[in-house]
Amino acid sequence: SIIESVGSGFLELAGKTILITGANGFIASYFADTILFLNATLLKKNPIKLILLTHHKITRKSRLSHCINNPNAQFIVGDVASVPLPNNIDIIINGASKASPKEYLGKLIETADVNVLGTKKLLEYCVKEKISKFLLVSSAEVYGDPDPDFIPIEEVYSGNVDQLGPRSAYQESKRFAETLCSLYWKERGISSVIARLFHTYGPRLSLNDGRVIPEFIRRAHINEDVLIADTGSSIRTFAYISDSISGLWKILIHGQTGQAYNIGSEEEIDISRLAELIIKLSNSKSRIVSIPSTQRSLSPGTPNKTTPSLRKIKTLGHTNKIPLELGLKRLIGWYKNQRAL
């Protein structure tokens, strides 16, 4: 589906060497699989060489365990801010980051270091090695808690971020990583593009990730109360993984240098309705229980509404194909097949 969506644009990558950082992450692992599938099909005569940088060694349980013996894949284990990189890389996809609040709220300085120092180190490498393209996988968190007057959020919106708030380690470091990309484009000529990823879900998203969709599915499966904050009126949009990855590839291949693009969904749903839908799709007996928002320990500072404008990425020919209910059915089925539930 991803390859069909992007089409002949992938031919530009034939014979290239691509470095993916944070390669074993939820999003980045799909970049790797797209490339390996391309090598087996469209680019069989001139495959892409893949360098996968991971923070931890790949094991049998890792997302990319099936890539260990692939002749076109090379693994590097280490910290993106300090690990030595090989020569002759053509393209860098920087996906190294702690994206889940469950992860970054407990490792604030490490989160900031990965986003800022890691990005700067890679951009310096781009200057030294004359890299042809750099993609930063950024986040909608750069917008903070947006002013309702600026929703749907367009890329020109400068955001409403509390630099001393509970989510600031992630939000502000992502914002500065974007600034670094812009500076290295303006002063060093690095062809960088930025993808601001909104809520994305799908297979390979850990059931214990802590974010709302896997948490609701986990609770619904065991008929446990599904907890929502206050009345559950917060509005969210969720993009299925194949739609998000297709958009990321289009930004890398066709995006305008120095520009940022939103990736997400325009299909809005409130948290209460999301809970009802997941309970229904799970054939669960769970109840929906409201708790005061002040008791939420996992995601303090969560904004009320973050609907993106996708007008800009649509100029690259991108459209979403998977509606929320179908995507949730697929994800629940995947969890069952993996015996995660």
pLDDT tens-digit map of 36-64: 999 999 999 999 999 999 999 999 889 99
DSSP3 helix / strand / coil % (the chain, rounded to 5): 40, 20, 40
| CA–CA–CA angle 100, 153, 123 (5° rounding) | 60
pLDDT(105) > 70 = yes
Q: Which of 114, 80, 76 is nearest to 97 (CA)?
A: 114
Are the CB atoms for 180 and 81 separated by under 8 Å? Answer: no
User: For the purposes of burial, counting CB atoms within 10 Å of the CB of 190, is it exposed (0-12), middle (13-18) or buried (19 or more)?
Assistant: buried
- pLDDT value for 295: 57
Distance CA 323, CA 281 (A): 14
Report residue 296's pLDDT band, with 50, 70 and 90 as the boundaries. low
Residue 90 CA: distances (Å) to CA of 44, 128, 191, 195, 216: 19, 12, 11, 19, 41
170 in active site: yes
Average pLDDT, the chain: 94
Distance CA 174, CA 164 (A): 15
pLDDT(82) > 80 = yes
Are the CB atoms for 192 and 233 separated by under 8 Å? Answer: no
Residue 241: other Cβ atoms inside 10 A: 22
- pLDDT value for 179: 98
Report residue 212's pLDDT band, with 50, 70 and 90 as the boundaries. very high
Out of 104, 170, 201, 261, the active site residue is 170
Its pTM surpasses 0.85: yes
Q: Which of 104, 89, 106 is nearest to 173 (CA)?
A: 104
What is the tally of helices (H) and strands (E) in the chain? Answer: 10, 13
Q: What are the tens digits of pLDDT across the range 131-149?
A: 999 999 999 999 999 999 9
Show the tokens assigned to 189.
């000529």
Q: Phi then psi for 46, rounded to 5 degrees?
A: -145, 70
Distance CA 36, CA 44 (A): 10
Tell me the β-bridge partners of 52: 20, 75
